[in-house]
Chains A and B, each alone.
Chain A
Amino acid sequence: MDKLFVIAVGGTGMRCLEAFTHLCAIGMFDSKEIELLTLDTDQANGNKGRVEKLIQLYNRIKTGGTPNANTFFSSKLNLYRFYTNYSGQGRENYKNISKINSGTTEQQKRNQLISDLFLDNESVQEFDLSHGYRAQTHLGSMLMYHGIIEAARNIVRGTDVKVQEKELDEFVTKLELAGQDARVFIFGSIFGGTGASSIPIIPKALQDFIKIRSKGAASIDFSKAKFGSTLLTEYFTFKKPNDKQKASKENSIIADASYFPLNSQAALQFYQSDPTVQRCYKMLYHIGWPVESKPVDTGSSQTITGGATQDNASHITELLAACAAYDFFTRTNGLDVDKTEYVYKAVDFNNNAFSFSIHDFVGNGNKAGERFANKIGAFFSLAHISLTVNNAANGDAGIKGFITRCQEQKITQYNTITDAECGEINDYFKAFAYTFESARFTPGWLYQVRSTVAPGTFIFDSKAFPESLSELKKLDVGTIFLDEKNHWPKGGMLANRYDTFIKKLINLGPEEEQQVNTTKEKFLAHIYNAITHSQGFHLI
């Protein structure tokens, strides 16, 4: 069985990883253990912090567990974090980090000349690198490559090895051990800074990392290793930086979203013609947003360059990128190519809006579309039961309500699940769907994704996304799908859908083939079975 590796680079890469983590939570990667690496220059980046918190929460929910099948949280995730260090003295910008002003006078002159040939002296060489490469991909590719190589050299030297370098080392060790069974998928944009800089160089940088660490004894064979990535073109925009903000040297370069379409075109040309990319990557997935991009920084007066404030909302293109990873990890053919294959598909566009059906995400072979809808629908229903019916969104019991219900029905095997463990599951649902913070509605990942498609269609009925307390109270959690045939059964004149669902919950339980071991895994598998039976997808 192939070993799965995911590398997320830059702000967009982090949001793609967030979508990927939610796919793992809904149970799309059954029986898999997946190694995840976050790679950034900006260790304080809001999106990076958000996804790392989410994965840590996922892992707390999964504590003591193993990979399972046909249940929620079915895969096991191992998180590694690496960031290039641009915060110490002498590492703030290109000029300092490349030590242009060291060596003899003649060497310094040559250093300066060659730097000036490729990089603008006043701006590109002097901007603050801690907020990423700011759409300067020519600089970024070089620095990211050298960041990874520097880590390898530090590990070989064995002194002053930083935590992030150790984590990168662990990740690469697993990659090396997997050998030709490794499938590596890289998330990042091609129009911005860090992701766009890194995607072309990561396979080569990892190869050289292994070579340096093993002193030439080991390497990655690109004819056998399976690398895939997304060609994610521009899909969001933000404020154009003004002269006042660009006045300081640290901010002399700020990414300008108006150039994103041009950046995307140039990047696509590069990916098409670059022999290293063509040799390293087996599959590249074209993902774009061919309509007007929405601004992500509506509440800010300045262009956000990075840091904790770069905490952009999620977009459906990121879910599509995660689905591309699903395709790459599950495909049984097409990976033994010598040159990159390009993958793309189109979605219906009517009345100035996209219409996404269940078949537009992971394809329709082997009823994959139905399986995806079944799993995401079950998770969304459970999120609504926890947050809306059991009111966890406003601090009430949430998932604990299910344990109470089981106790009432004399199903006592879940009594050992603690309030804290239930709280963690509730927190995950808040990140997935929605919550209320100080009585203010805060959309979670799925609400944000759906809002980027509205007024177009998106698997679920628009009524499944209420935002006010009064509308939420009226929600029937058994009717979230657009297609009525997937609504939970009504159960006759004297029952309702929820009543019928609880009867199913009582009569079902976890099954052996789900390979669940811990009490929490059994509990989640039990609920998964009750909801998926209620939805009535025909999967065989």
Chain B
Amino acid sequence: MESITAYTVSVIITLVILFIAAIIANVIKFEGGSKPRDPKIRKLWFWILCLLNPILIFLLGFFVFMPDGNVRVVKNYIAALSIGTVAGFFLYILLGFILSRLFTNGKLGHWF
């Protein structure tokens, strides 16, 4: 049960962060000029949020969603949260890559 909570937290936070990354990518306007900077800024924000994602998963999981229970329960939760944090990191990249390919000609295409 604790494990499910940790993984759910990881997935939800990853999806929320990815959603925020997509909003930021769309809010950044297309620039004119010979060397527009907007693609690089979108990519930068994507990777900043990619790094923020595991930190947020772990901190929120640890301080907000930590279950009350015995040491074994907490231990199991921490173990699941750690796995969820790593999984969230890779899930963010995987989903980001898929979205980037789905919208390859749009602003999200700049992520990869």
Q: Which residues of A contact B (CB under 8 A)?
A: 385, 389-391, 396-398, 400-401, 404-405, 408-411, 494-496, 498-499, 502-503, 506-507
Residues of A within 8 A of B35 (CB): 397, 404
Contact A389 B33, CB 8 Å, known A408-B39, A409-B109, A494-B27: yes
With a cutoff of 8 Å between Cβ atoms, the chain A residues found around residue B105 in the complex are 409-411, 506-507
With the chains together, A499 CA to B31 CA distance in Å?
7
Residues from chain B with Cβ under 8 Å of A495 in the complex: 29
How many angstroms between the C-alpha atoms of A63 and B104 in the bound complex? 32
Q: Which residues of B contact A397 (CB under 8 A)?
A: 33-35
Check B30 for interface membership: any CB of A closer than 8 A: yes
Residues of A within 8 A of B33 (CB): 389-391, 396-397, 401
B33-61 CB contacts (< 8 Å) to partner A: 33-36, 39
Q: Do B39 and A401 touch across chains, with their CB atoms under 8 A apart?
A: no
Q: Could you tell me the distance in whole angstroms from the C-beta of B41 to the nearest C-beta in chain A?
A: 12
B34 to chain A: which residues have CB within 8 Å?
390-391, 396-398, 400-401, 404
CB distance from B20 to the nearest CB of A (A): 14
The reply to whether A496 and B29 form a contact with Cβ atoms under 8 Å apart is yes
CB-based contact B32/A389 at 8 Å: yes
Closest B residue to A502 by CB, please name it.
B30
A-B pairs with lowest CB-CB distance, top 10: A397-B34, A389-B32, A502-B30, A499-B29, A401-B34, A499-B30, A410-B104, A408-B39, A409-B105, A506-B105
Interface positions of B (Cβ within 8 A of A): 26-27, 29-36, 39, 104-106, 109-110
| Complex A-B: 9 CB contacts under 8 Å | A390-B32, A391-B34, A396-B33, A409-B109, A411-B105, A494-B26, A494-B27, A498-B31, A503-B30
Q: A405-B36, A503-B106 are in contact. List 6 more A-B contacts (CB 8 A).
A: A385-B32, A397-B34, A401-B33, A401-B36, A408-B110, A502-B30
* Residue of chain B at shortest CB distance from A506: B105
Closest chain A residue to B34 by CB distance? A397
Give CA–CA (A507, B35) in the complex, Å: 22
Counting residue pairs across A and B whose Cβ atoms lie within 8 Å, the total is: 50
- By a CB distance below 8 angstroms, the chain B residues around A411 are 105
Kindly identify which residue among A385, A391, A401, A409 contacts B106, using a CB–CB cutoff of 8 Å.
Answer: A409
| CA of A307 to CA of B64, assembled, Å | 86
Cα-based distance from A194 to B88 in the complex (angstroms): 81
> Whole-angstrom distance between the alpha carbons of A401 and B37 in the complex?
12
Task: Report chain A residues within 8 Å CB of B106.
Answer: 409, 503, 506
Q: Which residue of B lies closest to A499 (CB)?
A: B29
CA distance A404 to B40 in the complex (A): 13
B27/A498 in contact, CB under 8 A: no
B112 smallest CB distance to A (angstroms): 10
* B108 to A: closest C-beta gap in Å: 11
Min CB distance B79 to A, Å, is 41
Query: Which residue from chain B places its CB closest to the CB of A400 in the assembled complex?
Result: B34
Task: Looking at the assembled complex, report how far the CB atom of A433 sits from the nearest CB atom of chain B, in whole angstroms.
Answer: 16
Q: Name the B residues within 8 Å of A502 (CB-CB).
A: 30
Q: What residues of A have a CB within 8 angstroms of the CB of B110 in the complex?
A: 408
User: What A residues does B104 contact at CB under 8 A?
Assistant: 410
> B30, B31, B104, B110: which has the most chain A beta carbons within 10 Å?
B30
Q: Which residue of B lies closest to A386 (CB)?
A: B32
Instruction: Establish whether residues A408 and B36, one from each chain, have CB atoms under 8 Å apart when the complex forms.
Output: yes
Q: Give the residues in chain A near B36, CB-CB below 8 Å.
A: 401, 404-405, 408
Answer whether A405 and B30 are a contact pair too, CB < 8 Å, given A410-B104, A411-B105: yes
> Which of A397, A409, A503 is most buried by chain B, counting CB atoms within 10 A of its CB?
A409
Identity of the chain A residue whose Cβ is nearest the Cβ of B104 in the assembled complex: A410
Report the separation of the CA atoms of residues A408 and B111 in the bound assembly, to the nearest whole angstrom: 11
Residue of B nearest to A392 (CB): B34
Q: Do A401 and B29 have beta carbons less than 8 Å apart? A: no
Interchain CA distance A503-B30 in the complex, whole Å: 8
With both chains docked as a complex, state the minimum distance between the C-beta of A491 and any C-beta of chain B, in angstroms. Answer: 9
Separation of A404 and B32 alpha carbons in the complex (Å) = 10
Q: How far is the CA of A507 from the CA of B31 in the complex (A)?
A: 17
* CA–CA, A502 and B107, complex, Å: 10
- The CA-CA distance from A396 to B33 in the complex, in Å, is 8
A384 to B, closest residue via Cβ: B32
Q: Which residues of the other chain, A, contact B27 by a CB distance below 8 angstroms?
A: 494
Contacts of A404 in B (CB 8 A): 34-36
How many angstroms from the CA of A410 to the CA of B2 in the assembled complex?
44
Which residues in B have their C-beta under 8 angstroms from that of A401?
32-34, 36
Are A498 and B32 in contact (CB-based, < 8 A)? yes
Report the separation of the CA atoms of residues A502 and B29 in the bound assembly, to the nearest whole angstrom: 10
Chain A: minimal CB distance from B13 (Å)? 24
Q: Which residue of A lies closest to B39 (CB)?
A: A408
Residue of A nearest to B40 (CB): A408
Which residues of B are found within 8 Å of A507, using beta-carbon distances? 105
Contact indicator A498/B30 (Cβ below 8 Å): yes
Complex formed: what's the CA distance from A409 to B110 in Å? 7
Task: Output the nearest chain B residue to A507 by Cβ-Cβ distance.
Answer: B105
CA distance A410 to B101 in the complex (A): 10
Write out the residue numbers on chain B whose beta carbons fall within 8 Å of the beta carbon of A389: 32-33
